[in-house]
Structures are given as structure tokens and as C-alpha cells.
């Protein structure tokens, strides 16, 4: 267990001091290593939540620990008024992965998307007669700021906060005709997750992503791919759009980019590379510590062949899910790609499964009552999968019994 940690009633203290915007699972995690985390009682869990797709290298990977430790002794923060070695190094690595895009760093996924929306609006202003509207997808998720809430295609996130910023509309995912019908003179950009995350793990079809690229070329629109959840190798390629043989104009990232240190990124190709000094900015975005962690994360993904591992382990995990779906009536329709997976859960039991799996030592995540999401670290081994599958099997038996 963690040394020097006082014994206190953390749940009660949170109730008193913290604003309750999150529905917490009833454990307090204090340590992590690899695919495992430990709570205040010293109980361990296999982590198939991974900070919601953040801990791509697992917990406390030595490469990240070392990079951060070294960086904090050299330079913790520097103003963006000055050049920043780690920022440039990380941007260089992302250029290598994206076919030459240039980066801008922020602190979160929502903030990366805000930057993308602004850049698309600048494009519209300069090159499409002042067009400003963003078309995004139903069931999408793009963040919790007002503009990204307006872009998010789920009513539950939008209802309370009206009026939201103008210039956003959502159309059904994987429906190119709907995108075409929604496009007007006001449209500046199309914003899409190639694999929808919060919406339930839904990969786009080949026709849809290729059709979007063609439509954007034909109509002079900007194609933005939100890779916040599906990027950083989670689907077996560095970016999930690489499964579709297309290149977007703008790409947003966050979550796994620095393996758990807060960071976001907005990448752009030459067509939309329009930001100039004064257009956009941030105090902490691209901070040396975050970027050092990012450099270590990208390097480790490549050195440890984690893209290949995500593909292989994703397929292996899926065979386990298929077996479990065949064995238990309450789950079906395993889906996803790489280590971004879900199953459909009947009778509104997803939350119950998560609670019972937690007691059995496996962290899972429910999306609504009908979807179980699994987004483990990319360092997963076959032995980890066997263990997680056994726990899930036992959990399903308990819930069905
Ligand atoms: N886009 C997608 C696809 C996401 O999954 C998320 C977070 N779940 C975000 C954007 C927002 O990221 P953040 O929470 O870092 O603002």
C-alpha cells in the first residue's frame, strides 16, 4: 500500500469538500503500476478504464516517470513567449506520425477542439465567404466547454446549458447523405470521431470516412478528426483515421498523449495552417513537463511496438468477449477495434456489471445502462486478458444467477 497515507473517510470528506459532478465508484485509488491499480485498503484491480483511455503505457511506466523526473529538475514551466525544446520535440514526433502536420498544444481534449473550431472558422472566413458552421455527428462527444458542448451530439449534455454558441448542428453518424443535406453556404467544417468513444464505441464505415473526405474536397470544407479518445495507438494505428486511407485537415488529441500528464494537441495540415501570432494561445499548453511526458509516451509506443500489441491484444480480448457473449444471455454484440471495445448489455445491467466486476478486481466502465466499455492500457499481455476474462466471466455468472 501507499506509505504515509493517513486513514481518513475519503468518501465522506469528498461529500463535504468537492463538487459532485462525477458519479464515483466506491473506491479510492492511491497507486498504479502497469495494468494494475491499488486502493486505500491495498486491494488491487486490473484497470480496463485506464483513466478513460489515458494511461496508454499503463500506470507509472518507467519511461514517463524518468522523463518527468528529469524535466522537473531542469525547467518546470516556461512562458509560450519563448521557444520550448520539449514542445518542439513532441511536435516533431507528431509530424512524423501524421505525415507532416504542425502541432499546437493545449491542456485538454475540449481545449484542443476549441482550437480546431476556431481554426475552421478562420478558414471559413478567409476561404469560404465567411462560413462558420460546424457539422458534427449524433452520439459524438467533443468536450464540456460551451462550444464543444454545442458540437457534442447527445441531448443529455446540452439540455441544461441553452443557449449554446451558434453555428453547430448534428447529423446521424455514418450517414453521408445526411451530411450532404445539412451542408450549406454557412458550413465551414465537418467534425467527426472515426471511432466514436463516449457514444458507445462505434467505428465509422469506410464509405463514410472516405465520402466525408471527398465531400470536403468538393465543397471546400475542413475535415476535423477528433482523435482524443481513439488516437495514440488505441485502435492499433497511431491515429484511428489511418484505418480509412484518408487524411483530415485538422486532428485533435489529448488523453493518452502524455500518458497521464494533462495535455491536448491540435494538428493541422498545410491547407488549414492559418493561425498567426495573436490568434490563439494558452498559458500552460505545451508546458515542458507535459511535453517531456508526451515525448516519452510516443517514443515508448514505437519502441515497445504497442500499435501491433493493441491490434493483437484487441483481437484476443474480442475472442474472449465473443465467448462470453455466447455463454451469457445478458450481453451481446461485441464491437470495436484494437483496445477500444464494448459489448451491448441487456436489461439496463451495465452499471450492475461494473459494480460487481469492481468487487471482483476488474475496473470497467458503463456507458448508459446498455453498454460496457473496455479501454485498457496498450501494454496488456495475454495473461492479463485471461485474468480479466475470468473475472468478467465470474461477474456475469453472479449477475445472471
Ligand atoms: N473528444 C473526445 C472524443 C473525448 O472522448 C473526450 C473526453 N472523453 C473529449 C473530446 C474531451 O476531452 P477532455 O475531457 O480532455 O476535455
Structure confidence at residue 79 (pLDDT)? 97
pLDDT grade, residue 4 (50/70/90)? confident
Q: Over 90: is that where the pLDDT of 96 sits?
A: yes
Structure confidence at residue 209 (pLDDT)? 98
- Numbered ranges of CATH 3.40.640.10 in the chain: 62-303
CATH number of this structure's domain 1-9+40-60+305-380+388-401? 3.90.1150.10
Binding site residues, as ranges?
A: 109-110, 141, 144, 226-229, 282-283
Percent of the chain with pLDDT over 90: 98
For residues 211 and 192, the answer to whether their CB atoms sit within 8 Å is: no
- Numbered ranges of CATH 3.90.1150.10 in the chain: 1-9+40-60+305-380+388-401
- Interface confidence, given as ipTM, is 0.99
Residue 109 Cβ inside 6 Å of ligand 1? The answer reads: yes
Q: How far is the CA of 54 from the centre of ligand 1 (A)?
A: 10
pTM as predicted:
0.98
DSSP codes, 346-375: STT-HHHHHHHHHHTTEE-EEETTTEEEE-
Residue 108 Cβ inside 6 Å of ligand 1? The answer reads: yes
Residues with Cβ within 8 Å of residue 275, at least 6 apart in sequence: 104, 119, 122, 268
- Tens digits of residue pLDDT in 220-239: 999 999 999 999 999 999 99
- Tens digits of residue pLDDT in 150-191: 999 999 999 999 999 999 999 999 999 999 999 999 999 999
Q: How far is the CA of 6 from the centre of ligand 1 (A)?
A: 33
Structure confidence at residue 2 (pLDDT)? 59
Cell numbers given for 330: 445478458
Residue 142 Cβ inside 6 Å of ligand 1? The answer reads: yes
CATH number of this structure's domain 62-303? 3.40.640.10
Give the Cα separation of 267 and 269 in Å (integer): 7
Percent of the chain with pLDDT over 70: 99
- Tens digits of residue pLDDT in 327-375: 999 999 999 999 999 999 999 999 999 999 999 999 999 999 999 999 9
Summarize the confidence of residues 7-28 as an average pLDDT: 95
Amino acid at each position: 500500500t501507499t506509505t504515509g497515507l493517513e486513514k481518513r473517510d475519503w468518501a465522506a470528506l469528498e461529500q463535504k469538500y468537492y463538487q459532485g459532478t462525477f458519479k464515483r465508484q466506491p473506491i479510492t485509488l492511491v497507486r498504479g503500476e502497469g495494468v494494475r491499480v491499488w486502493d486505500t485498503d491495498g486491494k488491487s484491480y486490473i484497470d480496463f478504464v485506464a483513466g478513460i483511455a489515458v494511461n496508454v503505457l499503463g500506470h507509472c511506466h518507467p519511461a514517463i516517470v524518468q522523463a518527468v523526473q528529469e524535466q522537473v529538475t531542469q525547467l518546470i514551466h516556461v512562458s509560450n513567449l519563448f521557444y520550448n525544446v520539449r514542445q518542439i520535440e513532441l511536435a516533431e514526433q507528431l509530424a512524423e506520425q501524421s505525415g507532416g502536420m504542425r502541432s499546437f498544444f493545449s491542456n485538454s481534449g475540449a481545449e484542443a477542439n476549441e482550437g480546431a473550431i476556431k481554426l475552421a472558422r478562420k478558414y471559413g472566413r478567409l476561404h469560404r465567404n465567411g462560413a462558420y458552421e460546424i457539422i458534427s455527428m449524433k452520439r459524438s462527444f467533443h468536450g464540456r466547454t460551451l462550444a464543444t458542448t454545442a458540437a457534442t451530439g447527445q441531448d443529455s449534455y446540452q439540455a441544461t446549458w441553452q443557449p449554446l454558441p451558434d453555428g453547430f448542428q448534428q447529423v446521424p453518424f455514418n450517414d453521408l447523405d445526411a451530411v450532404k443535406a445539412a451542408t450549406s453556404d454557412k458550413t465551414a467544417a465537418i467534425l467527426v470521431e472515426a471511432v466514436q468513444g463516449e457514444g458507445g464505441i462505434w467505428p465509422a464505415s469506410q464509405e463514410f470516412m472516405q465520402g466525408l473526405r471527398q465531400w470536403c474536397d468538393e465543397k471546400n470544407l475542413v475535415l476535423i478528426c477528433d482523435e482524443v479518445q481513439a488516437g495514440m495507438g488505441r485502435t492499433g494505428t497511431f491515429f484511428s483515421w489511418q484505418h480509412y486511407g484518408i487524411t483530415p485537415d485538422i486532428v485533435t488529441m489529448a488523453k493518452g498523449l502524455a500518458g497521464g500528464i494533462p495535455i491536448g494537441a491540435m494538428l493541422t495540415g498545410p491547407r488549414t495552417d492559418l493561425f498567426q501570432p495573436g490568434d490563439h494561445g494558452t498559458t500552460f499548453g505545451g508546458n515542458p513537463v507535459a511535453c517531456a511526458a508526451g515525448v516519452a509516451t510516443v517514443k515508448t509506443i514505437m519502441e515497445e511496438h504497442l500499435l501491433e500489441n493493441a491490434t493483437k491484444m484487441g483481437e484476443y480480448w474480442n475472442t474472449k468477449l465473443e465467448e462470453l457473449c455466447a455463454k451469457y444471455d445478458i450481453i451481446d454484440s461485441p464491437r470495436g477495434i484494437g483496445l477500444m471495445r464494448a459489448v451491448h448489455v441487456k436489461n439496463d445491467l451495465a452499471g450492475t456489471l461494473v459494480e460487481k466486476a469492481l468487487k471482483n478486481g476488474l475496473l470497467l466502465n458503463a456507458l448508459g445502462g446498455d453498454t460496457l466499455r473496455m479501454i485498457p492500457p496498450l501494454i496488456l499481455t495475454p495473461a492479463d486478458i485471461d485474468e480479466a476474462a475470468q473475472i468478467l466471466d465470474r461477474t456475469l455468472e453472479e449477475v445472471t444467477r
